[in-house]
Amino acid sequence: MYHVTRSTIAEKLSRRLAMTAAALVISALSVPGWAAPSDGERFREIYQKEWEFRMAEFPLWASGNGIDEHAAELGHVAEADQKRRYEYWRRIRTELDSISCERLERAECINYRLFVKQIDDFLAAYETRAYLIPFNSDWGFYMEWGRLPADTDFTSLADYRNYLSRLSQIGPVMDEYIELMRTGIEIGMTQPRVILDGRDQPIRRQLVERPEQSPFFAPFLNMPETLDNGVRAELLEQAGEVIGQGVVPAYRRLYDFFHGEYVPGARRTLGAYELPGGEAFYAAEIRRYATVDLSPREIHDIGLSEVARIRAEMDAVIEETGFEGEFADFITFLRTDPRFYAKSPRELLATASYYAKKIDGRLPMLFGHLPRQPYGVAPVPDELAEFYTAGRYVGAPLEAHRGGYYWVNTWKLESRPLYAIPALTLHEGAPGHHIQGALAMEQSDQPPFRRNDYISAFGEGWGLYAEKLGVEMDIYETPYEQFGRLTYEMWRACRLVIDTGVHAMGWNREQAQEYLVSRTALSVHEVTTEVDRYISWPAQALSYKLGEYTLWQLRREAEAQLGERFDVRAFHDFILGLGSVTLEILQDEVRSWIEAQG
């Protein structure tokens, strides 16, 4: 007897559908004037529908990119949502396999390669279960929510209603995150226990007795005059209810979970290789951030080579200062002499502002095209400062009608040396991340998935490359500032050694700290926060030096092949005009540019 199963029926239906589709295609081909969609048309259809899906799934990301359609939503993260997205992206990946880059225009082929990388990164994040660790020592979902009051433009009643809607969803989504982390504890997919001390500070800040004390309530304290008194009273009442009954209890649940379950259950191991499927996880993170197919050992060896080269340059600068003593003595001198440290947050910000404007005046030396968007200098917000890095650029979409900001960390001034400010400003402001990001936003001919992307190897590589451009622009005024630049470069070279050492070679935390503290003039506080960042954020730290290393290789190639025809302004304009690309695409495109110049 023939047993008919569901799979048998499905196979029959599948064959019939395939035959019907084939017949429709044959029929269509016989229609005069009909032509099958080109690969370019099909690719555009794929990325347009996926971008709409992505913005709907990640509303905060959409808002950050100036897209307001989902401004009332927070986005869900439960296991079912993770799987649903994964299945969708698998279908997208299958559709992409039917398209050939060889049949696309050159610019569209770049788009295709970048889009494939994004989809592959999404798939890898699910397959390695990276989503079970939704925070690191530097950032986390609960900190991103804490930025909502500052990152939301409150110009209309709709803005307030959308904001309240998002706040009302924090409770349910918080529980989804807690369940993900609980699963992580069960399978050993957690942050290491050693980096968790003090990470509850942003959570504790939200545990207030009255809603009006909550940072989330701040937007309702100065509502615009255009809102009448009745509407204001209604909004105040709703805010008190949503924050008091939803937001604060949600953060309380997270706080209790963090101390009651996560900290006790966190793994005692350190490296990514110790995670379930850790080797595959680390390889995926290297491809995501560094965009290279190098092994940890190969990356480690590049780091060792760069450390040796930079140390020789540092020794030459020490000799220039006339300092008598060993390298370690000079480092101690830099860490302890009061002349190298600001007396107040305002002095540190003033120094950063001075160098920002000095650099602005010399940018035309190395760039032909500059962005129209400005940027400002501001302190790192108090709620982030204790565990935050020395500085960071925080961009804004052009549609937001505001500039970006170069954040300077004014917490613990004795750990923020003034001699490092020129290099930091070049990296985070101009010609580093601000110029890079603002110009990328102006590439209106690029699809949004590319224009709004940030590939760490390209972005951070450019930031480090920009620090050295300060030498050509004569930004560094003293040998100590030159040493500050070399300290920053050494810092990034050490990252190649430390990151791979920790995550693939069994290094412990103390070993990593000693390696960094003995080779740079970074303060002990910075060394501690930085090493914890590398431990909790595998592979991200690799992107800086590998990206900068590639940029200088390409520049030297261009200079050698073009000789007197080499125009550094045209070279920089071309690179920044690409937007954010992988290192492989960067190499392909720059070499094509060199050939065209010749």
pLDDT per residue of the chain (598 residues) written in tens, 0 to 9: 333 333 333 444 444 444 444 444 444 445 556 567 899 999 999 999 999 999 999 999 999 888 889 999 999 999 999 999 999 999 999 999 999 999 999 999 999 999 999 999 999 999 999 999 999 988 899 999 999 998 898 989 999 999 999 999 999 999 999 999 999 999 999 999 999 998 898 999 999 999 999 999 999 998 988 888 899 999 999 999 999 999 999 999 999 999 999 999 999 999 999 999 999 999 999 999 999 999 999 999 999 999 999 999 999 999 999 999 999 999 999 999 999 999 999 999 999 999 999 999 999 999 999 999 999 999 998 878 887 788 889 876 555 556 789 999 999 999 899 999 999 999 999 999 999 989 988 888 899 999 989 999 999 999 999 999 999 999 999 999 999 999 999 999 999 999 999 999 999 999 999 999 999 988 888 899 999 999 999 999 999 999 999 999 999 999 999 999 999 999 999 999 999 999 999 999 999 999 999 7
Q: Please identify which residue in the block is written with the tokens 């993770």.
A: 82
How many domains does the chain fold into? 4
Q: Are 536 and 339 a contacting pair, CB within 8 Å?
A: no
- 88 with 4, same domain: the answer is no
Q: Which helix (H) or strand (E) covers residue 548, if one does?
A: helix 542-562
Among 324, 394, 325, 392, CA closest to 352:
392
- 24 with 59, same domain: the answer is no
pLDDT at position 429, please?
A: 94
Among 321, 303, 285, CA closest to 516:
303
- 31 with 49, same domain: the answer is no
Q: Is 439 exposed, middle or buried (0-12, 13-18, 19+ CB in 10 A)?
A: buried
**568 part of a folded domain:** no
Domain containing residue 68: 37-128
Q: How far is CA 474 from CA 15, 310, 359, 361, 366, in A?
A: 70, 20, 9, 11, 12
**563 part of a folded domain:** no
Q: How many residues does the chain have?
A: 598
DSSP 140: B
The one-letter amino acid at 3: H
**205 part of a folded domain:** yes
Q: Are 406 and 429 a contacting pair, CB within 8 Å?
A: yes
Paired strand residues for 378: 407
Q: Please say which residue of 268, 300, 325 terminates a domain.
A: 268
- 94 with 207, same domain: the answer is no
CATH of the domain at 92: 1.20.58
Q: How far is CA 182 from CA 128, 256, 385, 446, in A?
A: 16, 13, 28, 41
Among 355, 479, 487, CA closest to 421:
355
CA–CA distance, 594 with 131 (Å, rounded to integer): 41
pLDDT at position 17, please?
A: 42
Token digits of residue 530: 């930085």
DSSP 416: S
Sign of the torsion angle spanned by Cα atoms 557, 558, 559, 564: positive
**562 part of a folded domain:** no
Q: How many CB atoms lie within 10 A of CB 596?
A: 8
Q: How many CB atoms lie within 10 A of CB 209?
A: 9
pLDDT at position 35, please?
A: 66
- 167 with 110, same domain: the answer is no
- 211 with 76, same domain: the answer is no
Token digits of residue 498: 């430390």
**497 part of a folded domain:** yes
- 384 with 513, same domain: the answer is yes
**481 part of a folded domain:** yes
First to last CA, the chain: 76
Q: How many CB atoms lie within 10 A of CB 369?
A: 14
- 311 with 203, same domain: the answer is no
DSSP 212: G
**576 part of a folded domain:** no
- 463 with 521, same domain: the answer is yes
Q: How far is CA 385 from CA 47, 50, 258, 392, 444, in A?
A: 38, 36, 21, 11, 35
- 261 with 408, same domain: the answer is no
The one-letter amino acid at 62: A
CA–CA distance, 12 with 10 (Å, rounded to integer): 5
Q: Are 180 and 134 a contacting pair, CB within 8 Å?
A: yes
**577 part of a folded domain:** no
- 7 with 42, same domain: the answer is no
Q: Which helix (H) or strand (E) covers residue 44, if one does?
A: helix 39-57
- 498 with 512, same domain: the answer is yes
